[in-house]
Chains A and B, each alone.
Chain A
Amino acid sequence: AQRVTQPEKLLSVFKGAPVELKCNYSYSGSPELFWYVQYSRQRLQLLLRHISRESIKGFTADLNKGETSFHLKKPFAQEEDSAMYYCALNDGYTGGFKTIFGAGTRLFVKA
């Protein structure tokens, strides 16, 4: 069954430290993977998608099919990065898709 696992509920780092939010997935086929972010009192929004291979707000994520992982990384955390982060995958495109989310990791960046 398709599944997304985020092993850490909470991750606390100091400002300027590197951060890595872990995500593992289970999917038969080639997954479309995403990271969503929810800042305090804001709605859920797309941060980045693996197919774009882009860096957003200093964050990058590499798809590792061998390890079935899609970890989110940033070399130097900022206080404004404090938020809830969700890893997700899209299942199916022809005839619609469903998005499967992980349970989320709360990132807290300390001054």
Chain B
Amino acid sequence: DAGVTQSPTHLIKTRGQQVTLRCSPKSGHDTVSWYQQALGQGPQFIFQYYEEEERQRGNFPDRFSGHQFPNYSSELNVNALLLGDSALYLCASSSEQGAVDEQFFGPGTRLTVL
């Protein structure tokens, strides 16, 4: 089991563009959470998906949206990119059937907005 995987590793976009980041959860996990980590900061919760629905959301604008597929993988979409969206985006998975609070993190996608 490769654990949580994310793609791409790095991404460079310009202001106003749109971006899609992808996450595959750890085998057996059904819940995916997304975080934004700016330089020198802790991860900030964006939203959480379970059963293909968003069920928790942090303080992020509607430009941030997501999706979860039947195989539990997930996408994070960001529209109308701003310079301030430059950050490391982390995906974490967990299981409703196991230790609900035990999250496994992916390596992250580094997004740079120019």
Do A and B bind? yes
Chain A residues touching B, majority SS: strand
Residues of B within 8 A of A43 (CB): 4, 105-108
Chain A residues engaging chain B, CB cutoff 8 angstroms: 4, 6, 32, 34, 43-46, 49, 86, 88, 90, 92-93, 95-104
Of the 9-residue stretches B16-24, B38-46, B61-69, B70-78, which lies at the interface with chain A? B38-46
Known contacts A44-B43, A101-B43; is A96 also within 8 Å of B102 by CB?
no
Query: Chain B nearest CB: distance from A95 CB in Å?
Result: 6
Q: Is the CB of B100 within 8 A of A99?
A: no
* Cα distance A46–B99 in the bound complex, in angstroms: 12
Query: Chain B nearest CB: distance from A48 CB in Å?
Result: 11
Known contacts A32-B101, A96-B50, A97-B100; is A103 also within 8 Å of B45 by CB?
no
Chain B residues engaging chain A, CB cutoff 8 angstroms: 4, 31, 33, 35, 40-45, 48, 50, 55-58, 90, 92, 100-108
Most buried by B among A4, A6, A96: A96
Query: Chain A nearest CB: distance from B3 CB in Å?
Result: 8
Q: Is the CB of B45 within 8 A of A100?
A: yes
Chain B residue at minimal CB-CB distance from A101:
B42
Chain A residue at minimal CB-CB distance from B94:
A97
Q: Is the CB of B58 within 8 A of A98?
A: yes
Residues of B within 8 A of A92 (CB): 56
Known contacts A98-B58, A99-B33; is A46 also within 8 Å of B102 by CB?
yes
Q: Is the CB of B105 within 8 A of A96?
A: no
In-complex Cβ contact of A98 among B4, B41, B42, B45 (8 A)? B45
Q: Is the CB of B42 within 8 A of A93?
A: no
